[in-house]
Amino acid sequence: MAEILFAAQPIYDRRGHIYSHELLYRHDSGVSALDVGDERATSELLFNLCTGVIEHVEHYKMPVCINVSADFLLSGIFLPLNPKDVIVELIERIEPTPEIIAAIRAWVDEGFRFALDDFEFHPAWDPILKMATIIKVDITKTSFEEASEHYHALRDYPVLWLAEKIEEEATYEKYKDLGFDLFQGFYLAKPKVIEGRKVPSAAGEQAMIIQQLFSEEPDLYDLVAAISTDPVLVVNLLRIANSPYYGVARKIESVREVVMLLGLEPLRKWVLLILSLRNSTPGAAKLVLTRAYMCAELMRQSAHGSRAADVAFLVGLLSGCDILLDVNKNEFVNELNISSSVRDAVLSYFGELGEQLRSVEDFEYSVAMKRIDLADPELFQVYKQSHFLVDELFQAMEAA
């Protein structure tokens, strides 16, 4: 069954040709970008664009305009698109703070173009105006006289002027005669809902991130790219890297720097903690992370080596992905490019990994039923050690 991915509304030039398409957040339930928040709207739209409608974008062979939240701008990452294929729209809720101005300058240096959406023509925006490619004028909020005054006052700026929300021919002709370059509105074309098969954003993003984190030899570029699909995760990792917990002398400003600073093992722990706390209660997160540490320690004690311990940790983690990441376990695990031994252990308790997982889950049941006295004493020591490691991780999270 087709699902709503987003809507696309064309923007036309003076010759009546399509200049670009503005992508608009849409959801099957009817909720708006305001309802879900700017961060989530940006993340979902980007995810649906990059995973569900590549043919749609390739078909148009022209730039797409995408609204970007302030947190995404400040996150130190960039859109996962070629800069020539996208125009970044600054939504009206963004304030032109020094931090925002610096972030936009970094984006421009990377080759991205910016459109000032619902521009207020306030002096505070002057630094950004100098970097803009397009000024969008909402003609329902700005009168023709005001638009004309601003247009003539700023004619020396090398920007394109776009009149949006045009609903009749006479209005279109007025702004065209004034000298505007681009036009958008129901008179020209209404937004078209783009449908397709939507990969669940939570499962899809988290599967990709976890896959990269626990691959045998993680590639730095692929790992950074995977983490960068989740703006909220990036913001949290940047906050942690710049916290007193790490005591770094200079400010960490990119995902790559975060990965290099933290190192693979601490990064795995932080990412798992952030993802788990987003989708579950602290108690559930501690339960599954403790299980994962126990599986890893049991494998380490069996003299299989650190690599085998990493695999066992992944088995413990995936066994609780339904409560840790709020996904369907069978669907999530089957989407991952993992070995059959890991998949069989998680879903069927098969093999040595599966037997270890079952013993750990049986121990969890004994703890829940307050029957620790009946549990294996050696397993109890592994539990105490693992529980301590998880508690330390949570305390570090609070301190960051």
**Same domain assignment for residues 178 and 207:** no
Write down which residue in 279, 311, 335 finishes a domain: 279
Structure tokens at 208: 């990709």
pLDDT for the residue 156: 84
Domain CATH code at residue 8: 3.20.20.450
Domain boundary among 196, 219, 239: 196
Q: In terms of domains, do 233 and 190 share one?
A: no
Q: Are residues 176 and 211 in the same domain?
A: no
345 shares a domain with 318 = yes
**What pLDDT tens digit does each residue of the chain (400 aa) get?**
566 767 889 999 999 999 999 988 777 666 666 666 666 677 667 656 654 543 444 445 678 888 887 777 876 666 656 788 889 988 767 888 899 999 899 889 988 999 988 677 788 888 888 899 999 999 998 899 999 999 999 888 899 999 999 999 999 999 999 999 999 999 999 988 776 655 444 555 676 777 777 776 778 877 887 787 676 677 678 777 776 556 666 777 777 888 888 888 778 778 877 777 776 777 777 888 889 889 988 888 887 766 788 788 878 888 887 777 667 788 777 766 667 888 899 999 999 999 999 988 888 877 777 666 656 778 888 888 888 888 877 776 666 5
User: Domain boundary residue among 141, 167, 196?
Assistant: 196
- 220 and 290 inside one domain: no
Burial per residue of 29-59, b for 16 or more beta-carbon CB atoms within 10 angstroms, e otherwise: eeeebeebebbbbbbbbbbbbbbbbeebbee
Question: pLDDT at position 58, please?
Answer: 44
Question: Distance between CA 117 and CA 267 in Å, rounded?
Answer: 37
Containing domain of residue 22, as a range?
3-196
Residues 52 and 162 in one domain: yes
pLDDT at 383: 87
Measured between alpha carbons, how far is 322 from 285 in angstroms, rounded to an integer? 11
Instruction: Specify the pLDDT at position 35.
Output: 66
Asked whether residue 86 falls in the same domain as residue 148, the answer is yes
Q: What are phi and psi of 4, to 5 degrees?
A: -75, 125
Task: Give dist(CA 35, CA 112) in Å, integer.
Answer: 28
* 110, 252: one domain: no
Same structural domain, 32 and 132: yes
Question: Are 55 and 82 in a shared domain?
Answer: yes
Question: What secondary structure does DSSP assign to 184-224, as a single string?
Answer: -STTT---EEEEEPPPPHHHHHHHHHHHHHTSSS--HHHHH
User: How much is the pLDDT for 246?
Assistant: 65
Specify the pLDDT at position 43. 65
Clarify whether residues 36 and 117 are in a common domain. yes
Torsion from C-alpha of 114, 116, 121, 122, nearest 10 degrees: -70
Number of domains present in the structure of the chain = 3
User: Does residue 315 sit in the same domain as residue 206?
Assistant: no
d(C-alpha 397, C-alpha 375), whole Å = 31
Q: How far apart are CA 287 and CA 367, in angstroms?
A: 11
> How many whole angstroms separate alpha carbon 280 and alpha carbon 267?
20
